[in-house]
Amino acid sequence: MGTILKDKTKFQPRKGNANLENLKKFQAFLSRLKKKGVLDDSVYNQIRPTAAFTPTLYGLPKVHKDNVPLRPILWSIGSLTYQCASWLSKSLKELRRQPSTAKDTFHFIKMIADHELGCNHIMCSFDVKNLFTNIIVDFTVNLILDKVFAEKESKVHGLNQTDLRKMFNWTCKNTVQRKILYTGGWGSNGFTDCTFDGRCIYELVD
């Protein structure tokens, strides 16, 4: 895990833990949306955090690969924007329903079961290295917003484009969820900070 964190193009050490400060700022942001009538009581109570747990990083061994590298896993339940990120994911799930998307191996087998493959066909699989640390956040957010707000007057659960962008920035860029508390962790669940051994904090670099 230490090798992953030594990549200066992806991670930078930082001083202190801004969890509590960010918690207050995020609560204030949600409160403003509620006062404007953008969020109803149900959604507000669902996504408003009352505590700020720092996500924990651990690794699962890839036993099928040489030298058994670790797959970074981020435990982010209870962190600053976990509930908000989960709500956004559910609210926008229809955007992920594409005919070329397979959710798992079993789904893929079902998709191709009725296709006749000739002797000239070759099936291949591509492995994306360090997928989440290489995703360009601003580009992805703009892509989602362009899709959601194809019609200018569109809203998502009362959120206009400006409000939704700010919510994305909180869940994907500005929070402790994309930083790494160097106990050795890193994550991709929309956070900028997390924990590995509990001593150092690392920031995931865009």
Q: Which of 91 and 31 is assigned the larger pLDDT?
A: 31
The pLDDT value given to residue 191: 46
Q: What is the 3-class SS of the chain, one letter each residue? A: CHHHHCCCCCEEEECCCCHHHHHHHHHHHHHHHHHCCCCCHHHHHHHCCCCCECCEEEEEECCCCCCCCEEEEEECCCECCHHHHHHHHHHCHHHHCCCCCCCCHHHHHHHHCCCCCCCCCCCCCCCCCCCHHHCCHHHHHHHHHHHHCCCCCCCECCECHHHHHHHHHHHHCCCCEEEEEECCCCCCCCCEEEECCCCEEEEECC
Share of the chain above pLDDT 70, in %: 75
What band does 126 get if pLDDT is binned at 50, 70 and 90?
confident
Token pair for residue 173? Answer: 């860029």
pLDDT digits (tens, 9 = 90+) for 135-188: 778 888 898 898 888 866 677 788 899 999 999 988 887 654 444 333 333 333
Domain boundaries, the chain: 2-94+133-204
Share of the chain above pLDDT 90, in %: 17
Please state the length of the chain. 206
pLDDT digits (tens, 9 = 90+) for 106-123: 988 888 888 887 888 888
Decide: 6 and 202 in contact? Cβ < 8 Å: no
- Residue 104 pLDDT exceeds 70: yes
pLDDT digits (tens, 9 = 90+) for 50-75: 887 777 777 888 888 888 888 877 77
The pLDDT value given to residue 197: 56
